[in-house]
Amino acid sequence: MQAPPSHRPKLAARLADRAGRVLQFLWSGWAGLAGLCLLAALWQAGHEAYGPFILSSPLATLSEIGALAADPDAWAIALLTLQRAVTGFALVSLVGVVLGVTAGYSPATMRISIPLITVLLGVPPIAWIVLAMIWFGGSDATVRTVIVVAALPVVFLGAARGIATRDRGLDRMAEAFGAGPVTRFLTVGLRQTTTTLFPALALALGTAFKVAVMAELLANAGGIGGALADARINIDIAQALAWVVIAVALLLIVEYTLVQPVKGEIERWRHAAQPWGVKR
């Protein structure tokens, strides 16, 4: 019997396509690297103008990072912050998406929650740190609570806007072909939130790392924040900068291994819409 005709390209072609996209993604790293080198040059200029006591040089900071990398305790500190930031981010994503999607489908919920979001945005994060310290002491829960409170408005609005501005024609189409409400939500509704949700999640991830370090420092909860507090006490500028670089590096690693690949896969069609000259 003849094999059924298929519109799908062969496996090898699909793998080649995937590999091509990965290489293209890696190749785009050169632009990022150029930007970072520019930053290092400015940093070096600052160092030469103000001296090592105010701003240690990029190279000195790098060698400090090297020293920290050889120290198992430093790894434990960095991993603690990473764990707190990523779990806090996961928590805020879950809560924000569930609440946002609900509000997107229900205009009444949306109207009630918008003032609440404004209140949440108005309360300074530092106040939440104080409250969380009183409630949970210097633990993971303190850091996670502050992350959730700080990043929730962004994720909530991203999810809600995605649902509220969805193409209702697609809902109608799915219904006309026999999709029930749940199927419509899973196949058509949820998929459309990604346009506004992904930028919101990227922002929330950045917030998670920043807030984690800040909460650790103020709540004396260890982690990179705690290490920064120690560096301040010792007035060790090279070590303080080294921890800052490590925190930023952790954020970049998570962003480019977790958020960007998923985004690239989901938004493949948007990429296809661009003329070939301006891709990435």
Residues near other proteins (CB under 8 A): 4-9, 167, 169-170, 172-179, 183, 187-188, 191, 266-270, 272-273
Give the type of residue at 233: I
Residue 220: enclosing H or E segment and its boundaries? none
Residue 42: which of 77, 50, 32 has the closest Cα?
50
> CB of residue 256 vs other proteins: minimum separation in angstroms?
22
Decide whether 40 or 190 has the Cβ nearer to other proteins.
190
Compute the C-alpha angle 193/261/184, nearest 5°.
Answer: 30
Decide whether 5 or 122 has the Cβ nearer to other proteins.
5
Q: Give the list of residues 6+ apart from residue 80 with CB closer than 8 angstroms, or none.
A: 222, 223
Decide whether 40 or 170 has the Cβ nearer to other proteins.
170
> CB of residue 176 vs other proteins: minimum separation in angstroms?
4
Q: CA 269, CA 260: separation in Å to the nearest integer?
A: 15
Tokens standing for residue 240: 């303080």
Tokens 């969805």 correspond to 166
Residue 80: which of 255, 205, 247, 237 has the closest Cα?
247
Decide whether 18 or 268 has the Cβ nearer to other proteins.
268
> CB of residue 109 vs other proteins: minimum separation in angstroms?
22
> CB of residue 111 vs other proteins: minimum separation in angstroms?
19
> CB of residue 219 vs other proteins: minimum separation in angstroms?
42
Q: CA 138, CA 84: separation in Å to the nearest integer?
A: 12
Tokens standing for residue 205: 């991830």
Decide whether 187 or 234 has the Cβ nearer to other proteins.
187
Decide whether 21 or 191 has the Cβ nearer to other proteins.
191
Q: CA 228, CA 30: separation in Å to the nearest integer?
A: 31
> CB of residue 272 vs other proteins: minimum separation in angstroms?
5
